[in-house]
Amino acid sequence: MVQAATKITEEKLLHLIEDWYKLEDQTIGFAEDLKKKSDNPFVKVIMDIIKHDSQKHKIMQQFVIDALTKEAIHLTPQELIPLADVLDRHIQAEAKSMGLANACSTESRNYFVDFIVSALTDDEIKHHNMLKTLDHIKSAVYPYGQTRSERMSGASL
């Protein structure tokens, strides 16, 4: 009974994601139309951002569709272990980006600059959180179950 309910819920989710995927095409089209109708650089950059985000959304939505219809998502810590050094450096770079974005927010007194910097800050936070999730999965077994902060501080189990 639980399995049947799960299958119905998964099918409903699949239909919702597919509808959303189709809607992104409209969003891309609207952004292109608005960009063509304006000569304002601020409007143009906002439309470019929305268009590129919608294209990115389609990639992510297709991943979900494939995960629900083809192969289940899998990721093991062992797949991430070889990436440890680069992953750590990437996390540090994103943290530095967040710091720079914060500094820009503090210094700026321009509404339009603040708007763009705020959007950039949101993206940097999102990237940092995504990388931290990968690091959390990896740290479940590497090395010997230590977390990243334990590895960095030299603490042992």
Higher pLDDT, 68 or 143: 68
Q: Exposed, middle or buried: residue 117 (CB in 10 Å: 0-12, 13-18, 19+)?
A: buried
pLDDT value, residue 150: 57
The structure tokens listed for 99 are 């710091």
Instruction: Give the end-to-end CA distance of the chain in Å, rounded to a whole number.
Output: 44
pLDDT in tens, 15-42: 999 999 999 999 999 999 999 999 999 9
pLDDT over 90 (residue 142):
no
In percent, the amount of the chain with pLDDT more than 90 equals 68
Alpha carbon 25 to its chain's center: 20
Comparing 42-46, 64-68, 107-111, 136-140, the range with the smallest average pLDDT is 136-140
Q: Exposed, middle or buried: residue 89 (CB in 10 Å: 0-12, 13-18, 19+)?
A: exposed
> What mean pLDDT is predicted for residues 90-101?
94
Q: Output DSSP code: residue 132.
A: H
Cβ atoms 42, 112 nearer than 8 A: yes
pLDDT over 80 (residue 151):
no
Query: Is the Cα torsion angle 121, 41, 27, 21 positive or negative in sign?
Result: negative
Taken as a whole, the chain contains a residue count of 157
The structure tokens listed for 34 are 């608005």
> What mean pLDDT is predicted for residues 105-111?
94
Q: Which residue has the tokens 């690091």?
A: 135
pLDDT value, residue 147: 52
pLDDT value, residue 84: 87
